[in-house]
Structure 1
Amino acid sequence: MAIMDRSLSKAGLFRMAYFIARGRVVAALFGLLLMLVASAARSDITIPLIYVVGSGNDVLDNYLLEQVRQVVGQEIPVMPVKESEATLNPDVPIVTIGPRAFTTALGRYPQSPILATLISQEYYRAMTSARSDKGSERTVSAVYYDVPLLNQALTGKAILPQARRIALLATPDSTHLYSELLSQLPKYNLEAQMFVVNSSSELIPTLVRALYYGDFVLAAQDPSIYNPSTIKHILLTAYRRNIMVIGPSQVYVKAGSLASSYAPYSAIAQTLVSALEQWFQEGFLPEPMYPTYFNVQINEQVGRSLNIPLPSEDSVKQQVTELLRKQAMSATKDAAADAANSGILP
């Protein structure tokens, strides 16, 4: 609760959050405020039952569900949903694991609330925008499997404090992935430029132009640019010019990216449990969200090759968390002042 003004009442915080939510730039802060208030008043809420549509990988499914049980501290009745089941209790959410399970549940159980896990924001938005029941009151939400691009950008900044300019690669169909990030960066004394790759043959020439601009390259979850066929060429080209690549995920750090923030399964499970508790306590799911905390992984061998003095992973995580906290505190104070001036707060 350190980022909130302690003089505000809980009711005042909700009124302030409503005011903040009207602006898209700080809409995420609305969710943060609600989460912090809810965590302060957290009680032992029993999750009576959850339906699960699995990924098809039993090891993965069982591991995630075990993480959920550890967060709750007790056994949770879990009912795998079979294809033959035509109807389900509409008062019990379906937890889907992975993209295929989410797609299946959306089409097969039109009356059931759905809470998707282990999917990207991009996939969630694509599937929900294509829904035939968009006008219904059906509840659909998600816990994304990755972290916001802002976290990744600040990870690069924590490793290379003098960095100010970030190079971004995108195709004409993926430029939107960076839209929110571009509006966020100036608050952290950072700027970015997008370099559009129009065809596969233009990837490396476009990357070379990007390397002349950026202090580092920030990679999004964009398989049209970053995939097993391209990543080796991207990394070698960048490192020959002594430019580091951040992201797009923990897997790519093992492949040769310098570093990445990522959401561990324990964080996904914790956020999933919070969403389920909200459903059974209040009758609705929260807005789609990223996990509430993250870790950082650094490839030390790459750092040595680039002659970059590397802070510890915990130090980078703490720096990123502190930067986010300070900005959230500043935005909260500004919103509170605006709300008071508008007569929303007493």
Structure 2
Amino acid sequence: MFFRRRLSIVRRLRNVAQRVLCPLLAVLWLSPVWAQGPLYAASDSPSHVVFLAGSENISFNLVFRKRLEDALPKGIKLARYTTDAAIKSPDSLIITLGASSLNDVVQQNPRSPVLALMVTESQFAQYQTIEEQTITALYLNPPLKRQALLGQQILPQATQVALLARAGDEQQFRELAEELARYGLELRVFTVDNPQSLVSTLSRALNFGDFLLGTPDPEIYNRQTIKHILLTTYRHNRILIGPERAFVQAGALASTYAPTDTIVTDTAQIILEYVRSGQLPRAHYPDDFAVLFNEQVARSLNIPLPDRDSVLQALKRLESSSTGVGNE
């Protein structure tokens, strides 16, 4: 008698469970949000693949990949880029490191969505006219307006800024000149007609400008020319701002730059947004930046450097109060 009663209770509980749990499981299974579960649930199996096309610097590729993987949820897997793999997964985002990697990927997979990293604004400009491809970038170079304002923070009495440009590129800086005029800075562009005229043109530029504003133009600023540019600048008792972090280590006085942590964080956010919406943002500069000084150069030129944190906060205030961060 006891066992019959117990069996009856078990059967009733089983019926209740079937009436309640089965419909509930069906709702969860069919729900669009639940269907995306592998991205959000505690599962190690990836639901989205992002390809990474590395640069020629293998060590950097490995470090960057590890840091980006740490910043992404487990549901997103970083895979090594190959042409065949990208063709089989045409909607998967491809991240490129460097201009050479970007060029290869665009030629091999002209319709794949691409996020370009470690490229300057000028290097990326040619790809923005491609209509069939969804492509964006986080610019490597700091915006020139910010760089010029950094020079003004270091030399508060400065009113004139010199800039070197190749023949035919002068018009690119017209908007920058208009923006700097609002801050009391007169920008003048000096044209370098050929490599042989670099030093003489630089001397004329330094006779005008309170400081030289470096640009990310590899034809003017490179390993072969930077020594001559810096020596000429020192002889005129002038300073070079930028063009980027590496040149400060070589002898420029200062530059702003995006820390690797910022690039990783911004990249992870773009990936997550693309996974969520299938959309990429417009090409832009990283959201945050830092300031780097060459204190040895400052001592050699007897230039008192302002507090780094104060300069950083001042530049951020200036950017937040303006409508943009300038153009190259």
TM-score by length of 2: 0.79
Matched, 1:257 2:222: no
Q: Which has the larger radius of gyration?
A: 2
**Structural mapping, 1:40-119, within 5 Å:** 48-72=48-72, 76-85=76-85, 87-119=87-119
Contact 2:141/2:243, CA 8 A, preserved across alignment:
no
Structure 1 residues 282 and 310: CA distance shift in structure 2, 3 A: same
* Whole-angstrom distance in 2 between the partners of 1:183 and 1:174: 16
Q: Which secondary structure state, in structure 2, belongs to the residue aligned with residue 77 of structure 1? A: strand
Give the Å deviation of 1:48. 3.2
Identity percentage of aligned residues: 37
Give the 3 Å change call, closer, same or farther, for CA 63–178 of structure 1 in structure 2: farther
**Kept in 1: contact 2:99–2:123 (CA 8 A):** yes
Within 5 A, what are the aligned runs for 1:196-211? 196-211=191-206
| Cα separation, partners in 2 of 1:279 and 1:152, compared to 1, 3 Å | same
Letter in 2 for 1:226: Y
CA contact (8 A) 1:244 1:257 kept: yes
Cα pair 2:51 2:86 within 8 Å, conserved: no
Question: Which of 237, 240, 258 does residue 242 from structure 1 map onto?
Answer: 237
- Give the match for residue 120 of structure 2: 120
User: Mean Cα displacement is larger for which, 278-287 or 181-190?
Assistant: 181-190
Choose which of 256, 259, 277 in structure 2 pairs with 1:282.
277
Give the Å deviation of 1:328.
4.2
How far has the Cα of 1:159 moved from its partner? 0.8
- Tell me, what secondary structure is at the counterpart of 2:48? coil
Q: Deviations over 1:218-272 (max 9, x none)?
A: 0001121111222112111111221111011111111111111111211111221
SS in 1 for 2:287: coil
What is the rounded CA distance, in whole Å, between the counterparts of 2:308 and 2:70 in structure 1?
A: 25
| Equivalent residues of 1:259, 1:299 under 8 A apart | yes
The SS at the match of 1:170 is strand
Q: In the TM superposition, what are the counterparts of 1:262-341 in structure 2 within 5 Å?
A: 262-328=257-323
Alpha carbons 1:113, 1:140 under 8 Å: kept: yes
Give deviations 1:148-191, integer Å, cap 9, x for gaps: 11111111111111112100111114435534422321232222
Mapped to 1, the partners of 2:228 and 2:184 lie a distance apart of: 30
Gaps of 5+ in 2: 1-38, 41-46
The DSSP-based 3-state class of the residue aligned with 1:320 is helix
- How much has 1:281 moved relative to structure 2? 2.0
Work out the CA distance in 2 between the residues paired with 1:225 and 1:172.
11
Distance 1:305 1:123 in 2: 34
CA distance, structure 1, for counterparts of residue 202 and residue 143 of structure 2: 23
Match of residue 143 from structure 1: 138
CA distance in 1, matches of 2:66, 2:54: 14
Separation in 2, partners of 1:101, 1:258? 31
Contact residue 177 and residue 220 of structure 1 kept, 8 A? no
Tell me: CA distance 1:74–1:87, structure 2 relative to 1, closer, same or farther (3 Å): closer
Aligned partners of 2:254 and 2:292 also within 8 Å: yes
1:73 Cα deviation (Å)?
A: 6.4
1:275: Cα distance to partner? 1.6
Measured after TM superposition, the shift of residue 97 of structure 1 is 1.3
User: Is contact 1:174–1:222 with CA below 8 Å preserved after alignment?
Assistant: no
Residues 135 and 222 of structure 1, relative CA distance in 2, 3 Å threshold: closer
Q: Secondary structure at the match of 1:188?
A: coil
Name the residue aligned to 2:163.
168
- Could you give the per-residue CA deviations for residues 173-219 of structure 1, whole angstroms, max 9, x where no partner exists? 44355344223212322220001111222212211111121111000
Q: Displacement of 1:69 after TM fit? A: 3.3
Q: Aligned partners of 1:236, 1:87: CA distance in 2, in Å?
A: 50
Aligned residue in 1 for 2:36: none
Return the letter of the residue paired with 1:124: F
233-242 vs 170-179, greater mean Cα deviation: 170-179
Measure how far apart 1:70 and its partner are: 4.0
The aligned residue for residue 227 of structure 1 is 222
Question: Over aligned residues, Cα RMSD in angstroms?
Answer: 2.2
Structure 1 contact 145–268 (Cα < 8 Å) conserved: no
For the residues of structure 1 that align with 2:291 and 2:73, how far apart are their CA atoms?
26
